[in-house]
Amino acid sequence: MPDFQHLTLEYLATAVILLDEELRITYLNPAAEHMFDASGKNLLGHPVQQVFTHTEQLASAMQQAVHNNASYIEHDLTLGTHAHGKLHLRCAATPLQFSKQYLLLEFHPMDRPLKLAREEQMLDQTQANRLLLRNLAHEIKNPLGGIRGAAQLLEQELEKPALREYTQVIVQEADRLRALMEKLLSPQNASHYSALNIHEVLERVRSVVLAEMPGGLTIQRDFDVSLPALVGDKEQLIQVMLNIVRNATQAMQGAGLIVLRTRVARQVTLVKRRHRLAVMVQIIDNGPGIPAELRDKIFYPLVSGRAGGHGLGLTLAQDFVSQHHGTIEFDSEPGRTCFTVLLPLP
């Protein structure tokens, strides 16, 4: 490789290593020396697999890159180093053709502890939410019995039959609330897991929401049809997607564009467990965005930014997703809000 190109690599903040066709290190830039705490002089000429330990993933990334003659990115690479022990890195391997075959390796540190801490916090929060909901449901259910009973007694005393209409409303609404509370109290182990196609779930959600919001709303599909089947509870997953899509339509007041996107995600770590494959569902809207003051707490129960909202939709969605060992996150700015749900594949 010509020297002026080495010169440019010297200034990069990204750690770069160049290998010859025998996978021996021919160059490493100062950022790489810093990352691996090793001096280039000592490593030059040594096969990369001897310089590092735990090189299985690196070896397979290099193999893929050479085999496909294209860049291969491993998002969650573990590499053993003498100075720092195991490092978690994002690594891109790119084959280069000059006079000879070269392989270019780029390494970026991954803020994995950060991601794990966030997920752990989310899990704690989900459990706290569940507890809060159950306690609340319990507290509401008790007085409801009293209200209903009193309304029935009152009804017997009423002289004008027309007034019974009002006591009937009290009784019916008390029954409705009671059914809702039962639902919150019932242990959620009533889930039914089976193989399912995530696109069927999204199609259902799409038709329900389009029926609710006639006119003005466009829901586009951007599906990866090669996605393998998922194992999960179909009704719960419909509820998850429905809650997210409904929020989007409500934020856009029924008029705007929603994109439903599915992709395969590889090598993801979800709630401390590593999965080779996961389904990624993104629900993207072009509405006003989530108000800044709500962003830290929209998954909390009873947090709502709209009149008439119960603030339960996202709490339940998060609970169901975490029962599937998945994660739910969002990015939001005015004009673009994207909810990303990751669900591990078996």
Residue with tokens 């160059």: 27
Q: How far apart are CA 268 and CA 45, in angstroms?
A: 34
| Minimum CB distance to Mg ion smaller for 146 or for 309 | 309
Give the whole-angstrom CA distance, residue 13 versus residue 107: 10
Please check whether residue 76 is in contact with residue 68, taking contact to mean a CB–CB distance below 8 angstroms.
no
Amino acid at 6: H
Bridge partners of 222?
261
CB of 246 to Mg ion, least distance (A): 6
CB of 292 to Mg ion, least distance (A): 18
Exposure string of 20-45, with b = 16+ CB inside 10 Å and e = fewer, is: eeebbbbbbbebbbebbebeeeebee
Positions 225 through 264 that interact with Mg ion (CB under 5 A): 247
- The residues with which 280 forms a beta bridge, in sequence order, are 263, 342
Q: Which does 290 bind (CB under 5 to 8 A by kind): ligand ATP, Mg ion, none?
A: ligand ATP
Q: Is 313 among the residues that bind Mg ion (CB under 5 A)?
A: yes
User: Of 264-293, which residues contact ligand ATP (CB under 6 A)?
Assistant: 285, 287, 289-290
Kindly state the smallest distance separating residue 138's Cβ from Mg ion, in Å: 23
DSSP assignment string, 226-265: TPPPEEEEHHHHHHHHHHHHHHHHHHTTT-EEEEEEEEEE
Q: Which does 89 bind (CB under 5 to 8 A by kind): Mg ion, ligand ATP, none?
A: none
Residue 251 interaction partner, one of Mg ion, ligand ATP, none, beta carbon < 5-8 Å per kind: ligand ATP
Least spacing, CB of residue 302 vs ligand ATP, in Å: 9
Residues found in the chain: 346
Q: Which tokens belong to 51?
A: 């310089």
**Residue 86 touches ligand ATP, criterion: CB under 6 A:** no
Question: 239 or 269, CB closer to ligand ATP?
Answer: 239
Window contacting ligand ATP (CB under 6 A); options: 69-77, 128-136, 158-166, 245-253: 245-253
Give least dist CB 42 to ligand ATP, A: 53
Q: How far apart are CA 229 and CA 196, in angstroms?
A: 6
Of 126, 167, 236, 247, the one binding ligand ATP (CB under 6 A) is 247
Q: Which of 251, 270, 342, 343 binds ligand ATP (CB under 6 A)?
A: 251
Taking CB under 6 A as the criterion, which residues in 301-340 touch ligand ATP? 303-306, 309-315, 337
- Report the residue number, 48 or 298, with the smaller CB distance to ligand ATP: 298
Pick out residues in 42-81 that bind ligand ATP (CB under 6 A): none
Chosen residue from 243, 262, 322, 327 binding ligand ATP by CB under 6 A:
243
Beta strand segments in the chain, E: 15-19, 25-28, 72-81, 85-97, 101-109, 193-196, 217-222, 230-233, 256-270, 273-285, 327-333, 336-344
Give the binding site for ligand ATP (CB under 6 A).
243, 247-248, 251, 285, 287, 289-290, 294, 298, 303-306, 309-315, 337
